[in-house]
Amino acid sequence: MENSTTSILDVTRIEPRLKHPTIFARFDALKPGEGFILYNDHDPKPLYYQLLNERGDIFNWEYLEKGPEWYKIRISIKKALEHEETLGEMAANDPRKVQVFKKYGLDFCCGGHLSLREACEEKGLDPVKIEKELQQADQFQATRPLPFNDWGIDFLADYIVNTHHSYVRKSLPDLLTYAEKVFKVHGDRHPELNAVDDLVNEIAEELLSHMVKEENVLFPFIKELVSAKNTHRPYKRPGFNTIANPIRMMEVEHETVGKKMEEIRHLTHHFTLPEDACASYELLFRMLEEFEDDLHQHIHLENNILFPKALALEKELSQA
């Protein structure tokens, strides 16, 4: 029999409706330290979030091959007591460290599930050097950062809507206008602006739909959970059964938008202006960079603070 630490599960050969049950069966049979290699014809990132939500942070997820045609991922169960603080946890516990992550391009929101060691390995960075800077992170901010991790999750949900959702809705019309305008004027000399314009439109469409789902479905249920705890009464089970389901969907959508913003940064060479850039070109890049900064903070607050606490609260109430 093939050793479970080296076995390959080729899901391209499995009927679609049986793929996830087969993967979960293989996963559940693993012992600490054991794993298998998942072989697929597309990025199975939604599976990562499903495993995380339904099994918890008990596994490692390592890309051995990442497209464009084939994906190989080593999935293994962490050894007993093995836990490295993730970038997301570090950012949640001390927001001042975010400045260091931004300096080195370390993704603390969509990619916040990685440890510092894993993130540095992925980017070819020296973790020892960055760890030293993280220990001095309090020098980056003269004022005390907002204590997001200490807030009630109902208050945090309102903060996200009033701060980040409001910013997105206010910023998108100008961003869409200038992305199109700059493409029309400069696109013949800078063809990448066509892709930038398309990506901005895709991001706008996806975020506007995404925020409506949060405001009308997920966030009201989070407030219902908080109210149930505060009043010591049972909560009504929603149509989506468990909060893990909409959270998983929101995290996948975060990942999608985050990748599109990353692609814009790549296309624009980190928002570097060409010599023939006009005032509108400069304004577009400035707006894109500001939008990206806000998006990172927006996703961080949800992925690394709001969602984990909401999942924990639902679990607590269901066991009461």
Q: What is the mean pLDDT of the chain?
A: 88
Residue 189 is predicted with a pLDDT of 95
What proportion of the chain, given as a percentage, has pLDDT over 70? 93
| Three-point CA angle 39, 80, 109, nearest 5° | 60
Residue 2 is predicted with a pLDDT of 38
Residue 3 is predicted with a pLDDT of 42
| Whether the predicted pLDDT of 292 surpasses 70 | yes
pTM for the predicted model, two decimal places: 0.69
Q: Are 77 and 115 in contact (CB under 8 A)?
A: no
Tens digits of residue pLDDT in 120-164? 888 888 877 888 788 777 555 555 678 899 999 999 999 999 999
- Ordered strands of the 35-40 beta sheet: 8-10, 35-40, 71-77, 59-66
Q: Phi and psi at residue 176, in whole multiples of 5°?
A: -65, -40
Residue 221 is predicted with a pLDDT of 97
Q: In the structure encoding, which two tokens stand for residue 159, read together? A: 């903060």
| Three-point CA angle 56, 57, 63, nearest 5° | 120
State the pLDDT confidence band at 1, using cuts at 50, 70 and 90: very low
Q: Are 95 and 148 in contact (CB under 8 A)?
A: yes
**CA gap 173, 139 in Å, rounded:** 36
Residue 320 is predicted with a pLDDT of 67
Q: Where are the alpha helices (DSSP H) in 34-93?
A: 45-55, 87-93
Q: How many CB atoms lie within 10 A of CB 318?
A: 12
Q: In the structure encoding, which two tokens stand for residue 310, read together? A: 């909401």
Closest C-alpha among 297, 168, 314 to residue 247:
314
State the pLDDT confidence band at 236, using cuts at 50, 70 and 90: confident
Of residues 106 and 271, the one with the higher pLDDT is 271
Residue 237 is predicted with a pLDDT of 85
Residue 100 is predicted with a pLDDT of 86
Q: Which residues contact 226 (CB under 8 A, 6 or more apart)?
A: 152, 153, 154, 313
**CA gap 93, 104 in Å, rounded:** 19
Lowest mean pLDDT among 28-37, 87-96, 245-254, 297-306: 87-96
The conformation of residue 78, written as its DSSP 8-state character, comes to P
The mean per-residue pLDDT over the stretch 83-96 comes to 79
Whether the upstream peptide bond of residue 68 has omega within 30° of 0, thus cis, is yes
